[in-house]
Amino acid sequence: MHIPDGYLGPETVAAGWAACTPAWYWASRRARDTLSEPKAVPMLAASAAFSFLIMMLNVPVLGGTTAHAVGAVLIAVIAGPEIAILAVSAALVIQALLFADGGVLALGVNCFNMAVVMPLVGYAVYRFVAGSSPLLSKRRLVAAGLAAYAGMIAAAAMAGLELGLQPALHSVNGVAQYAPYGLKVSLTAMLASHLLIAGPVEAAFTVGVFAFLVRTSPELLKASAGERLRARWLWAVVGVLVLAVPLGLIATGTAWGEWSAGQMKEKLGYVPSGLAQFGGWWKGLLPGYALPGGSGGLLAVAAYVLSALLGVAALGGAAWLIVRLARRRRPSG
């Protein structure tokens, strides 16, 4: 779901930024009290790192492509949807800037899909299904799983819609200038893979981590903001994910709708002009989580783990900056 630059026309790119900006503003205002707590930086950093790392664990899906979980709904359930918006947005920014995973110009659209739509839809489903059930009840686990699945499908549907509209908006003499596949193909491809594989993976992962955290650190999900900021077990999950990230290299292939210009030429026989102009203009520090000129084997594994550690460190700095800005803007008294 990391739409690269060159796949979306200027109207769609602008709409993504326009939709995300008020969501970021709302989340930052809503999260002021939480971010004023002494342990706000570790909690936000751990949440962002969790999402960043889980997105590195690619799984094979239909058509020889890959997909990944996001973790946005789990963060929303644990810390609130406003924290999920901020944390997942921070993860997506670091991915785009450091690793060229998702476009920089398309960052507004990607954040809207995965950091806004996904946690808000998922959290709404969670609250509806969970109701007033006890924290340790099976109903809560069912609610978390259904919420994660619903949030993932909503985000995938948005990505399919945005990509599928491009041929209708930007074609010259029947030749697509940006994403080349219409709504029927784009929505089918995105929804099929996420309904059948990525969605269940997201749900299973969410239920597993949720059950673990509820039993080991139930204070994470209590009403008091001070209690919800004790993130020691969430950091334990982050540590496990750092060790597990090389598993993301097992799934080969490119995610649907994230092909390079060369791959697009092989598929279509030409490169859409928008992709030729904007695709790959930003290289990042470690593009594709790999060393420049690197090859496979142990070198690829080392580069992937290095990328994970670098991303976690960068997100720690981003969390510190977000919390500092939120505290500065928080009214006294």
Residue 39 in domain: yes
Which SS3 state, helix, strand or coil, does residue 175 take?
Answer: strand
Residue 174 in domain: yes
Q: How high is the pLDDT of residue 224?
A: 39
Residue 2 in domain: no
Closest CA to 79 of 236, 220, 218, 226: 220
> For residue 74, which amino acid is it?
L
Q: What is the pLDDT of residues 14-52, one digit of tens each?
A: 999 999 999 999 999 998 888 887 778 888 899 999 999
- In terms of residue numbers, what domain contains 297? 10-329
Residue 186 in domain: yes
Q: Which CATH number do you get for residue 152?
A: 1.10.1760.20
- Cβ-based burial of 30 (10 A; exposed 0-12, middle 13-18, buried ≥19): middle
User: CA geometry: angle at 156 spanning 84 and 195, to 5°?
Assistant: 110
Q: What is the pLDDT of residues 99-120, one digit of tens each?
A: 999 999 999 999 999 999 999 9
Instruction: Work out how many domains the chain is built from and give that number.
Output: 1
Residue 4 in domain: no
Q: What is the pLDDT of residues 257-268, one digit of tens each?
A: 999 999 999 999
Residue 193 in domain: yes
CA 316/CA 125 separation, integer angstroms:
30
The set of residues, in sequence order, having a beta carbon less than 8 Å from that of 53 and lying 6+ positions away, is 238, 241, 242, 245, 308, 311, 312
Closest CA to 50 of 315, 329, 320, 331: 315
- Which regions of the chain are under pLDDT 50? 223-227, 229, 333
Residue 1 in domain: no
Tokens 């594994």 label which residue?
301
Q: How high is the pLDDT of residue 308?
A: 96
CA 281/CA 161 separation, integer angstroms:
24
DSSP label at 265? H
